[in-house]
A = this chain, B = another copy of it.
Amino acid sequence: MSKGQQTRSTILSEAMRTASVEGFQGISIGMLADRLGMSKSGLFAHFGSKEELEKAVLDETAKRFMDAIWTPVRREPRGRPRVEALFRHWLDWTQQNDQLPGGCLFVALAADLDDKPGPVRDQLADLQRQWDAMLVRSARIAMEEGHFRADLDPRQFAYEMQGIVLGLNFYRRLLQDPAAIRRAEDAFAALLERSAA
């Protein structure tokens, strides 16, 4: 990475950390400059506006999310093993407190942005549609491999998998339920069982 790329990455890491706790309302270019001991104009050289910064945060988060999840998943055999690994690494992602102290940034932003029309909302929705498509595709491959039953609806599978992870966020972060992770794992095990061929 060049020095410019390193600086950009440092700014985005700090923005991700703060936004995971406080949402996009919680970040500003001036505040990030303060925290990082940079000049405001130095930060503006990387991101010309708050909106540009927000979009860059979403892209960077998606990139790191895919690196964290897809890289290990791809090493698993096709079909059900990949679906299981996908879930396991997704759960790990939601618990990496150093990068995202407020939990998954996408979940933190979803309910906040869903009713706010504009390019940032559209980008978040696009990224989440891509993720949904990836879950659907993984379930479909497990059907093709004969691991999941042939009459499974892979879109329904993706919906329920997403609901389990959203439930985990809710029970763990808001209700502070210590059993939340176990419940998510049990729910997913039951989903796998009733999807099996």
Interface positions of A (Cβ within 8 A of B): 20-23, 25, 101-103, 107-116, 124-125, 128-129, 132, 153, 155-156, 159-160, 162-164, 166-171, 173-176, 179-180, 183-184, 186-187, 190, 194
Contacts and interface: CB of A to CB of B under 8 A. Distances in A.
25 contacts: A20-B115, A22-B115, A23-B25, A102-B115, A107-B111, A108-B112, A108-B115, A109-B111, A110-B170, A110-B174, A112-B112, A113-B174, A128-B170, A128-B174, A132-B171, A155-B179, A156-B186, A159-B184, A160-B164, A162-B167, A163-B163, A163-B164, A163-B168, A166-B170, A190-B194
A156 B183 contact: yes
Contacts of A171: 132, 159, 162
Contacts of A116: 21-22
Contacts of A101: 115
A126 to B, nearest CB: 10
Nearest to A174: B114
Contacts of A163: 160, 163-164, 166-168, 170, 187
A116 B18 CA distance: 12
B112 A111 contact: yes
Contacts of A160: 163-164, 167, 187
Nearest to A124: B174
Given A115-B102, A160-B167, A163-B167, A175 B132 contact: yes
Contacts of A190: 194
A175 B108 contact: no
A175 B129 CA distance: 6
A154 B190 CA distance: 15
Nearest to A166: B166
